[in-house]
Structure 1
């Protein structure tokens, strides 16, 4: 009887060990399978301004020279979905971009929030209106960033985690637009340029805080763009240009030299 009990106990221990190992193996396999990459976001993520657009992307202006496709080409993820779209706001990400996310997604990158804060309208106002009108519009945008945008970012970041529970999420920020006391001899005043840079810093601060609270990595691109802002003489950001929608967006060099190294370091 004692031998029978010992044999039964040994069998139970072996079965328990086998189940434990099987469970660990399954979890490990699931972790290994989470190697797909999804690139979400707005025009800074889609690559507007960099050229080489996918004609099938239409007005989303997805460029093969954007940091997402560049990272994917260099790292060969098990799958790559590029849903970033020029003009996108947080609501557009929620409604139109999250479809490819799943448990097999291992990496997500996103740049979002500038359009919610009225980036295009701010720049149009500052280019076409007086300095006081520009500064008032910048102040309104910053109030939105501080009071309304955090809740909208929370919705996006929570939705990403719900759909891609295993993913590492990298939130990319925005560069400062201008080098102050730089080479520009016309256009906006230094006061306006300084106000726009401060708004960019404000947007980055808000975004970084929301990303950290969700356990996401924040990629600060400002150091990489330092010395390559508008008025630097070596700009990686378009000033007013043609096509007009390229204005104030990174060039191909800005994508590869400004954004890609930050994503590479955090992914």
Structure 2
């Protein structure tokens, strides 16, 4: 505690250092409520319409009564991790030193588990902010092998999810497909892939549907869990998502899997009776 009678008062050192005294008493605040609401709405729009670009996003928000412009929408998309989907002249370029690999799934017949894995990151809205969900699934069965919820967009959670998926499966995926985000062309990611013995596959720039199985997973988890639950914080979201992924893997049937669950397809269980959702 600083004594008001002390020769070296708060005013004096602030003057010596060229600081504004008000900065000493500043308390950081959370995300702006309006900006946060717009970010949440952009997440909903992208989930429903992954082909929407910045201009169409802007027009949609304006029709809904929001005051915004393309520059603001582009800025809000950045923390959502969606900006790369809407390339403009400079943003479409890959960073210096980044490694970009070809898309290996074009024309590939995916006929068995662990032939192709897919990994991606999506924005998860919370009542007071947001987080990022990394998930890795087996393309053939749609089984979610590993996932992690993180407060930031970094490479390390992706590397941990890759390691957890390998431990869960007991083998490495032959091919691991992702987008060209900085997490997936970084040296750390490439090194982890090489150590696992997996081949790297990257979506084409701006081609979100190249990783269509993960896009379908995001729609399912958001419409069936995140938007309905309205999680308050990371801990609550982690608990809820753990329940959802357990349900998704073992109970949720898919039309594309002949109305079987991902676990049944992973284990090679034949179809027994019709039914299910999609």
State the TM-score, normalized to the length of structure 2.
Answer: 0.27
Kindly indicate which of the two structures has a greater share of residues assigned to helix. 1
State the TM-score, normalized to the length of structure 1.
Answer: 0.28
Q: Which has the higher contact order (CA 8 A, sep 6+)?
A: 1
